[in-house]
Amino acid sequence: MREFGAAEGAVRDALRQVVMTGTPEQRAKALAVLADARKKLYLILAEEV
């Protein structure tokens, strides 16, 4: 579980950087990446075991 906490923190830090210093286009790309990651995570749960 520690690995997930570390990964979540790293993503949060990167997202903060994009929000604080990114252009509007970069922010839009970041939102698309987050939406795609969310979908992919749910697809993992939907896979047959």
pLDDT tens, residue by residue, 22-47: 999 999 999 999 999 999 999 999 99
Contacts of 26 (CB under 8 A, 6+ apart): 18
Q: What angle do CA 17, 20, 25 make, to 5 degrees?
A: 90
Give the pLDDT mean for 4-27.
Answer: 97
Question: pTM of the prediction?
Answer: 0.84
The predicted structure's pLDDT at residue 19:
97
The predicted structure's pLDDT at residue 41:
96
The predicted structure's pLDDT at residue 6:
96
The predicted structure's pLDDT at residue 49:
74
